[in-house]
Amino acid sequence: MAHHEIFIDRVVDQQQNEHAVPRGIPNFMLVGDSVEYLSPAGDFVRITFDDPDKGSPPSLLHSPFLDSTGNEKRVVTSTDGKITVSNRGIFFCHCFLTAKGQSEIGWGAKSLLSGGNHDVR
């Protein structure tokens, strides 16, 4: 099984809006692969999975991950380290970054670049 490192970069656009942009999301992952979310600057990373796949057929699941009790893990952080991909489907994540002493930036009305799809087969 493969291990994927997904980096969350702090990006400032021309309107000076800050984004937590994922880099390195693979085209697809397989159940059993592992994923780790990191920031190149060492910022705290938070990833949320809120929206179930609305594809065909629609998924009833929200997240590609399970917690230790077998429930969907809908929030993953950089302190989680490697986490195993457990569910098939297409999952949309919202990305957030917090630098030491600063406010969190990420997904929101002015930061639609702060997210991405996880295609798990």
Query: How would you write the pLDDT of the chain (121 residues) with one tens digit per residue?
Result: 899 999 999 999 988 889 999 999 999 999 999 999 999 999 999 999 976 656 555 567 889 999 999 999 999 999 999 999 999 988 999 999 999 889 999 998 888 889 999 999 9
Domain span holding position 99: 3-120
Task: Please give the structure tokens belonging to residue 41.
Answer: 């600057």
To the nearest 5 percent, what fractions of the chain are helix, strand and coil? Answer: 0, 45, 50
User: For residue 21, what is the domain's CATH number?
Assistant: 2.60.40
Q: What is the pTM of this model?
A: 0.90
Q: Please count the structural domains in the chain.
A: 1
Q: What does the buried/exposed string (b/e) look like for 8-38 if buried means 16 or more CB atoms within 10 Å of the residue's CB?
A: bbbbeeeeebbbbbbeebeeebeeebebbbb
Identify which of 56, 78, 74 has the alpha carbon closest to the alpha carbon of residue 64. Answer: 74
